[in-house]
Amino acid sequence: MIRYILGRLLGIALVLLVVSIVIFLLMHAIPGGPFDEAKMPLPAAAKANILRKYGLDKPLYEQYARYMWAALHGDFGTPFQSPTESVTGLIARTWPVSFKLGMVTLAFALPLGMFAGVLAATRQNTWIDYTATFLSSLGLTIPNFVIAVWLMLLFAVHWKILPTGGWGHWYNYIMPAISLGLAPMALTARYTRTSLLEVKRADYVRTARAKGLSSNQVLWRHSMKNALIPLITILGPQIPNLITGTIFVESIFRIPGLGKFFVTSIFRRDYPMIMGTLLLVALVWSIVYLITDLLYMVVDPRVRLDKKSS
């Protein structure tokens, strides 16, 4: 077990190394630089100055080597967008905000989604099932900021019971969490339903029924536990998405989170921030995958470690 985890951690380090190279090459391949003039051509000399100032005049491999050397010493550079702080400082300031919002979102979206899924599965092929299924597909399709804008219009403009945005009070979570939570909720509902139905037909459930257990008992004691496996698979990837924030919802509700930096960093060609944010995401994903795999083991002893990810 410990050997397995250590092996996986080593794998993660390797993945991060490869990711760093890939991202470094990709981001420098994007046309335009961090300080291109927007209105008029920049004199060649001024352009050269800018490149020199930020070390972008060096060959790529040298830039990469410098970056990695500094990163290994804990220095991830200075964001071009916010030169008075460091990349790590900026992430330390904004990530907890997004993280908290993501956790709150999950805390209501998961149970509700599972509830809806159970409801649909136990009433398979009734109108409840169809409605729940259709609504969850819709929930996956409507972009979260469309939901965000409508919530704002209803709660803040029409009913005037919430401010349009801001951060620091409990009520600031309400609208963003709903906007962010509908999609994972829908996803949870759909997968809970599918896997419950699958498990329901499995031999051991039928046996349990035959032994005279009530359908509720069967549902909770046997079905739910096995239905959790696909749920873990499907929700795993939702978690990094949620806890690293999203640009639209955060900017609409004035939440000082990390979300917008994923997009603004690319749009501004803020190389240190692109590296910083994407490495962070890669790390979070890797860890989530590791935890997912460990959870499989807990939930389903049949899963053998050596086979999951040799």
Partner 1 sequence: MSATTIHPEETPTMRTNLRHRSLLSDALRRFSHNKLAMFGLTIVALLVFAAIFANLIAPFPYDEANVTEALQFPSGAHWMGTDEVGRDVYSRIIYGARISLLVGLSSQLIALMIGVPLGLAAGLMGGKVDWLVMRLVEVMTSLPALMIALLLIAIFGGGLVNVIVAIGLVAWLDACRLLRGQLLSLRERDFVLAARTIGVRNRRIAVRHLLPNAIAPLIVAITIGVPTAIFTEAGLSFLGLGVNDPVPSWGKMVGDALPYMRVYWYLGVFPTLAIALTMLGFTFMGDGLRDAFDTAGSK
Partner 2 sequence: MHSSKLALSKRMLAVIAILLLAGLLQACAGAPAAEAPAAAETGGEAAGPVVNALGKELPADAAPLEQQVLVYPYAAGNTFTTIDIYEAVYQRADGLTDLLSDALVRVDKNFDLHPGAATEWSVDESGLAWTFKLDPNLMWNDGTPVTADDYVATLQYGADPEHAWDFTWYFNGVIKNWSQVVAGEMPLEDLGVRAEDANTLVVETETPAPYLPAMLIYSTPLQKKALGEYGPLYNSNPETSVSSGPYKLVEWSRDQRLVYEINPDYKGTNVPYIEKIISLGIGNDGYLPAYEANEIDFALGRYLSPADIQIILSDPELKAQYHPHPGDFRTYYFFFDDSKPPFDDLRVRQAFAYALDRQGLIDNVIKEQGIPAYSFLMPGFPASNSEAYKDIYPYNLDKARELLAEAGYPNGEGFPKLTLTLRNEPAMPEAVAQAYASTLKDELGIEVDVSNMEFKTYVDAMLADPTEIQFSLISYGMDFLDPSNMLGVFVSGGRHTWSNPEYDELVTKASSFVGDPAERIKMFQDAEKILVDDVGGVFVYHQTPGDLYKPYLVGEALTPDNNGVAAWHWPGFSGFSTLMQDVYISNEVTDYRPTPPQ
Nearest-approach distance from CB 262 to partner 2, in angstroms = 12
| Under rule CB under 8 A, residue 192 binds partner 1 | no
* Positions in the binding site for partner 2 (CB under 8 A): 30-33, 35-43, 45-46, 49-50, 53, 79-85, 89-90, 93-94, 145, 148-149, 152-153, 156-157, 160, 163-168, 247-248, 251-254, 256-257, 260-261, 264, 267-269
H-only helix segments in the chain: 2-29, 44-53, 60-72, 87-122, 127-141, 144-152, 174-200, 203-210, 215-218, 224-235, 238-243, 247-252, 259-267, 271-299, 305-308
The tokens for 157 are 């403009």
217 makes contact, choosing from partner 2, partner 1, none, with CB < 5 to 8 Å by partner type, with: none
Separation of alpha carbons 148 and 124, rounded Å = 32
63 makes contact, choosing from partner 1, partner 2, none, with CB < 5 to 8 Å by partner type, with: none
Our CB check for partner 2 shows the closer of 37 and 62 to be 37
| Under rule CB under 8 A, residue 14 binds partner 1 | yes
Our CB check for partner 2 shows the closer of 61 and 159 to be 159
Nearest-approach distance from CB 89 to partner 2, in angstroms = 7
Contact 296, 308 (CB under 8 A): yes
Nearest-approach distance from CB 298 to partner 2, in angstroms = 36
Helix 60-72 to helix 271-299 angle, to the nearest 10 degrees? 60
CA distances from 261 to 28, 56, 81, 256 (A): 17, 21, 9, 10
CA distances from 294 to 4, 192, 196, 209, 241 (A): 10, 20, 22, 30, 20
Separation of alpha carbons 237 and 183, rounded Å = 13
Site size for partner 1 (CB under 8 A): 56
Site residues, partner 1 (CB under 8 A): 11, 14-16, 18-19, 22-23, 26-27, 29-31, 125, 133-134, 137-138, 140-144, 146, 149, 153, 183, 187, 190-191, 194-195, 198, 201-202, 229-230, 233-234, 236-238, 240-241, 262, 266, 278, 281-283, 285-286, 289, 307, 309-310
